[in-house]
Chain A
């Protein structure tokens, strides 16, 4: 296979790097621990939701087995990715980019619909959500783009936006407003970490804000209703405001310590829509209360700081930007998902990392964290040994 790289590889990014046992010691153990604990948290919530769900007719055990399987697949993916030198990802960036576009296009053609949106492709009985993987893939593509150029040039920034334009458009067509917004969060986070001029970023943000009325025209009616309902959910408590009100009731009724795992009433009785994904945090806050939510936040902070630390230790810009991108995407998703559950943000369907149920989200997250571990394991090598 001959692929012409988009840019000249930099010296600090050797094309080949073989894993060795020694490098295992350079795993980011804190990141790994936080990852495993968050996966456990996610499993517990999955159990709670499944048991609570009185409309669920399937076998609870099988449902959990499926969640465990996702965990195992995710962990394996993470391990494999960690062991391979991530420099390959940079080399393959164009392929990854085109692959992502193809995946997203496939969804629009053969995808299956739920709740009016086409987001899924069914492969061998498993529902597969390409937009989740697209996020991770685009982090890699964008990191490569920034790493090979002078980020301080406005053309690099605009080029990055251009690269994102097609996948964003494809995701927006599904329609999945939330995920398309994630791409912008990713872009700004990565550009910021990469050192783009702040005035340029500000100008872009201002331009985006100015273009909002334009975007508004492209929105579906229900999306508009959700966005406006956020400002005053009680203006239509049975309609667009319903989700928000029910979510607030769920969160608030959890009080300090919660009603206890599996003892919540809002999601099992169907008051919380999409309780396993978009509104999963509301159910968590209802079951486990303020304490449970703060524990989750603490785990997230540990994970995000570990990612930033890896960004700092990375041997090359590519690794730093990937780590920054992963942190940006996670932060953005958490902010929007939790913010939505507590009515600080409008309702958009974005999964909460680890907690929202679904194989695609978990496996893509594991993939991303595997890349971070790969960066971590090669950090010192890149930083100091190459100098020696």
Chain B
């Protein structure tokens, strides 16, 4: 034992205290370590994995869209996009990065900063796309080469949707665009990401589920400076399926060419043309002119373009084949006629004396476009006598001749598909108006008058239809009484070309009418052409159909060149039976609507839609030479 008195400098209590402090420190450190490593070890281990491994979602390639012959209508071209992973961007650097990226992606820096901030709240480990338009190659290279300036931003290859024919198919195809908050909210569970593209309208929207495909995942190991060291695993994305449409690109082009030429030559201002196969409801062509270039929406539509489209009174963004409604005019006489036949108000031999072009009922005057003499059903239809159809539709109180009546016209009209959407596989279809006394009472709080019936009988007044509805009703007559749901989708193919889904013909309803009555209508419709009402010189095909002149909008009189300013709009709805008979064999039906076509025509000139129909159908069938 050391003598304490001789060694006063040794203070055992202090040393013991020191030892205690040492032990205390290590106990505290050990307890803390136990908590971190043993109690919460699993948590931190997963964090270290998350640190190291990022799961980068890999977007699938969108399916392409083809016509029935395999022609590409929508494809994907390589492009670049800029994304930002919020986890890689310090909050303090966020605005700086945003302002650096802003000129490169042509967006406001506050927009970009907000996109990053929003995503940081949502999921900081999922990249958010900050470029709206596809990024140019030079910009992509700059971002890659000067990566240190743009820490957190990544350039990814991203397919860019291309519509080779732009306006030709834009009314059908629609376009894709960056997903928005609302769309994302409803589709999050379906594997959509904030930087996703989604079908916004048209078939791109309608068949998003086929075109989309499924996300893949790439697991990447990264170091702290976010360099990707290696890919640890890859779950490849499942590419979207391809759509094969019922559209025949050849017919679409012929139709569009003729209609565009008419607009270009100012023979009419707008035009709609639809063709379908009456035997199954397949739409073979659908043209709405003027249209817009859907590629603009993919690239990011400029405000100037948008202004131009919105400022055009012809509304190029609207697919007028399905979304707008018009008075069908005389084409509606088919409905009145079929109703009169079915209700017994008329037979083939019902004759009306149209020796005057005006019919006076209760002091109101109802005009015909000319005097026709005494006409029977076929000739009344063929010559498009208004008074004949006033009579069989509404009756004549003076002669006591009974008419079908407005309820019956509405009943058969609805049976033929008027007053409700046809159910075509496109968004935004309008239902049109099939009026009856109840409808008028509910809508205008006014009683129905005989005059209303007369107007309805010749497709004026309240009746309003979409071109597709009109076509579909004639298709039902042409095929012997089946109303199909029109459709654009023929089949769905997997990327390797296997057919995974074939869209079957969908029957909406069967017409509750006698076959002989349909046959009489078909005979009359053929007669429209053969007697020259729808004049077809040197006709090569047994085309049958019905002309119509819709009057809507106020006529503004004549312009300086003596043309009508806003006036008549010409319809011609037709079909082509296999032989020149009344059998229900037609495999093509077509409707054409020309807006303001009277501007270059005299009032009684031939309906220009007829000649155009003849030209298109003959060229399509290859019999025009």
Contact = CB atoms under 8 A, between A and B. Distances in A.
Interface string A282-326: 000110011001100100110011001001111011001100100
A253 B18 contact: no
B12 A312 contact: yes
A290 B40 CA distance: 12
A269 interface: yes
Given A192-B17, A193-B18, A316-B9, A269 B37 contact: no
B29 A383 contact: no
A334 interface: yes
Interface stretch (A132-140, A172-180, A208-216, A243-251): A243-251
Interface string A346-388: 0000000000000000000000000000000000000110010
Contacts of A305: 19, 22
Interface in B36-59: 36-38, 40-45, 47-48, 51-52
A195 B18 CA distance: 12
Given A251-B44, A252-B48, A311-B10, 19 more contacts: A193-B11, A193-B15, A195-B14, A236-B90, A249-B48, A252-B47, A254-B37, A254-B41, A256-B41, A265-B51, A270-B223, A271-B51, A271-B224, A290-B34, A297-B30, A308-B19, A312-B15, A328-B18, A338-B29
Interface string A175-213: 000000000000001001111000000000000000000
Given A249-B47, A269-B222, A290-B34, A342 B29 contact: yes
B41 A252 contact: yes
10 contacts: A193-B14, A238-B92, A249-B44, A249-B47, A252-B44, A269-B222, A285-B33, A297-B26, A297-B29, A321-B9
B41 A387 contact: no
B10 to A, nearest CB: 6
A228 interface: no
Interface of B: 2-3, 6-7, 9-12, 14-15, 17-19, 21-23, 25-26, 28-30, 32-34, 36-38, 40-45, 47-48, 51-52, 88-93, 221-225, 229
Nearest to A293: B33
A328 B22 CA distance: 9
B21 to A, nearest CB: 7
Nearest to A309: B15
> From DSSP, what is the main secondary structure of chain A's interface residues?
helix
Contacts of B91: 236, 238-239
Given A239-B92, A300-B26, A331-B22, A290 B51 contact: no
A269 to B, nearest CB: 4
Contacts of B40: 252
Contacts of B222: 269
A252 B37 contact: yes
Q: 8 closest Cβ contacts across the A-B interface?
A: A252-B44, A238-B90, A317-B9, A255-B41, A270-B224, A253-B48, A253-B45, A269-B223
Contacts of B38: 255-256, 290
A137 B22 CA distance: 23
> From DSSP, what is the main secondary structure of chain B's interface residues?
helix
A255 to B, nearest CB: 3
Contacts of B23: 301
Which of A55, A269, A271, A387 counts the most B-chain CB atoms under 10 A from its CB? A269
Given A189-B18, A300-B26, A246 B92 contact: no
Nearest to A379: B2
Contacts of B88: 238
Interface string A83-97: 000000000000000
A344 interface: yes
Interface of A: 54-55, 147, 189, 192-195, 236, 238-239, 246, 248-256, 265-266, 269-271, 285-286, 289-290, 293-294, 297, 300-301, 304-305, 308, 311-314, 316-317, 320-321, 324, 327-328, 331, 334-335, 338-339, 342, 344, 383-384, 387
Contacts of A270: 223-225
B17 A265 contact: no
B534 to A, nearest CB: 75
Nearest to B34: A290
A256 to B, nearest CB: 5
B51 A249 contact: yes
B19 A312 contact: no
B19 A251 contact: no
B520 to A, nearest CB: 81
A344 B30 CA distance: 12
Which of B38, B89, B229 counts the most A-chain CB atoms under 10 A from its CB? B38
A335 B90 contact: no
Given A270-B225, A301-B23, A256 B37 contact: yes
B36 A342 contact: yes
Given A251-B33, A252-B44, A290-B38, A194 B9 contact: yes
Given A238-B89, A290-B33, A308 B47 contact: no
A194 B88 CA distance: 52
B6 A285 contact: no
A255 B44 CA distance: 8
A229 to B, nearest CB: 12
Given A249-B51, A314-B10, A387-B6, A342 B32 contact: yes
Contacts of B29: 297, 335, 338-339, 342, 344
B41 to A, nearest CB: 3
A331 B26 CA distance: 9
B227 to A, nearest CB: 9
